[in-house]
Structure 1
């Protein structure tokens, strides 16, 4: 599999403003990880908001930013998540639209790096709509949140970015997951320590084709 080479800011002659911005934030991370994480996170959120007024420009920027990341191999423990923005037109596909609505109470993910596995964290308000969608699926209490939809992880080339390694979040590998959830493939890259950008993909057929549904972001405690 092709490995994504780690690129240090000092080694890169930035070819465009996005690459230059990424290099600057990574350089900041060497001296102030918390500030670098906050700046990257603000970038994710701002790009997501731009989808409403400049859809093509915002999605192009998010795609380039994702390609600038490196597979999130070191992510571990509980993370805070946010939905950056959907890439599909609402109502374009009734099944995907229903899935999107059910996913909105999502609050983050938990990772167990040693076991190459994890689960999703949802707001407690998600219990009722999820029960209506999947009456036989049992969610678990996780403090102020509920845990659901376990996954396995591995590093491999992206489904759409085949020349980039990503951390694959695989729901199909867990037999207990609802069939709809098994159709999802998440991919995750780290932009700077503590700030990760993800793609949510819909798998068609036996996984030979994928549609990008949304971008999401995860935040972990930055390295100090």
Structure 2
């Protein structure tokens, strides 16, 4: 696990929000990413991240559209087997957190199960993204994505 990501697991929600606000969107990831759920400020954050990865969510697989690779689709890797399920549209838009540019992962038109969910990600360092999960208008969780670069 990336050293920066290890540090994120020790931070409060407010500290993670500050990191997110300072980051630029960066490039939209392409291909397979490894995900880490972050329960900021919660009890046993490393244990939560490990259990979530083993039993529920391992990351996302992005497929971007040409010509400029500024939008596309993705699927989440779900279950202990990492089955590709729960599709979303990916595009650039304004963040619900601070109104600045971000990468949006939008499930509203692609998933009956997750239609209330919207993720936002920004690239904090090359290949490492910090994400925010919204359920309706409420933020519920943070997460990280690591690319294979």
Distance (Å, rounded) in 2 between the aligned partners of 1:181 and 1:45: 25
Q: Which runs of 5+ in 2 are unaligned?
A: 43-51, 66-70
Higher Cα radius of gyration: 1
Is 1:211 aligned to 2:138, yes or no?
Answer: yes
The alignment covers a number of residue pairs equal to: 133
Question: Gaps (5+ residues) in structure 1?
Answer: 1-36, 48-57, 89-100, 125-143, 204-209
- Paired residue for 1:117, among 69, 73, 76? 73
**Residue 29 (structure 1) aligns with:** none
Cα distance in 2 for partners of 1:86, 1:150 equals: 25
Residue by residue over 1:25-59, the C-alpha shift from the partner in whole angstroms, topping out at 9 and shown as x without a partner, is: xxxxxxxxxxxx92322222222xxxxxxxxxx11
Relative to total residues, which structure has the larger strand share, 1 or 2?
Answer: 2
Give the aligned CA root-mean-square deviation in angstroms. Answer: 2.2
- 1:138-196 residue CA offsets vs partner (Å, 9 max, x unmatched): xxxxxx4201110001111101211x21100000121xx22x41000000000001111
The answer to whether structure 1 residue 150 and structure 2 residue 106 are counterparts is: no
Paired residue for 2:109, among 173, 179, 184? Answer: 173
TM-score, scaled relative to structure 2: 0.80
Deviation for aligned residue 1:86: 5.8
Q: Tell me, in whole angstroms, the C-alpha distance in 1 between the residues paired with 2:19 and 2:135.
A: 20
Matched-pair contact (CA < 8 Å) for 1:186–1:199: yes
User: Larger helix proportion, structure 1 or 2?
Assistant: 1
Q: 1:191 aligns with which of 118, 124, 144?
A: 124
Alignment match, 2:56: 105
Shift in Å, 1:87: 7.6
Q: 1:199 to 1:148 in 2, by over 3 A?
A: same
Distance of 1:184 and 1:87 partners within structure 2 = 22
Q: Is the 8 A contact 1:120 1:150 kept in 2?
A: yes
Structure 1 counterpart of 2:37, from 73, 79, 83: 83
SS across alignment from 1:155: strand
Match of 1:7 in 2: none
